[in-house]
Structure 1
Amino acid sequence: MKAFILTVLATLLSLTAFACPVCEKQQPKVLQGISHGAGPQSDWDYVLVWATVLIVVFCLFFSIKWLARPGEQGEDHIKRTILDF
């Protein structure tokens, strides 16, 4: 329980982190105050980031879906060796 509380606290604290003034000047208007480091080098950087976001959301959706309702109903399914143990 202590680890869970520390994890939640660390997550909440990380959400309040902002970019430093030097990094803020290097970012485009959309990202100012949010991210650190040099800004995107080309439009392909935005395409790659959004493609990655879509893949992560897709994987997260199906991970939760198949974890909540796996769908295998057979008594001889391999998951039964663990669940019935």
Structure 2
Amino acid sequence: MKKHPFYLNTLLLAVAIFGAHSTAMACDACKAQQPKFLQGITHGAGPSSNWDYAVVSLMVIITVYSFYAMVKCLARPREKSHENIKNIILNP
């Protein structure tokens, strides 16, 4: 696999970050339809009921916990075998 120069990787990362930021902003029509604390963040019509907030909150909790568990298991694997896939990834 061809390795790209550092400046090219940095440039691609900067374009990705700034490009994603500009497309994530809500338009003026969507801002008017959102509740006060979601204005400027999301697109489309506002939540239709309180269940929408509950579902999104549960998804956020599950996602944050999954990310935490992934980092924890990758940083401190319990398996000490050198043939384990985690040790192969961490110690190439």
TM-score (norm. length: structure 1): 0.76
What is the aligned counterpart of 2:65 among 51, 55, 58? 58
What is the aligned counterpart of 2:17 among 6, 11, 16? 11
Report the CA distance between 1:6 and its aligned residue.
Answer: 1.5
For the residue of structure 2 that corresponds to 1:64, the secondary structure is: helix
Report the CA distance between 1:18 and its aligned residue.
Answer: 1.9
Moved more, 6-15 or 41-50: 6-15
Amino acid at match of 1:11: I
Which structure is richer in relative contact order (CA contacts within 8 A, separation 6 or more)? 1
What is the aligned counterpart of 2:53 among 36, 46, 49? 46
Could you report, residue by residue, the CA deviation over 1:39-75 in whole angstroms, capped at 9, with x for unpaired residues? 1110011111110000001000010111111111246
Report the CA distance between 1:15 and its aligned residue.
Answer: 2.6
Could you report, residue by residue, the CA deviation over 1:23-52 in whole angstroms, capped at 9, with x for unpaired residues? 111111111111111111100111111100
Unpaired runs of 5+ residues, structure 1, are: none
Q: CA RMSD in A?
A: 2.5
Moved segments of 4+, more than 3 Å:
1-5
Counterparts of 1:71 and 1:18, CA distance in 2: 42
Match of 2:29 in 1: 22
Report the CA distance between 1:4 and its aligned residue.
Answer: 6.0
Aligned length: 81
Counterparts of 2:36 and 2:16, CA distance in 1: 28
Percent of aligned positions with the same letter in both sequences? 41
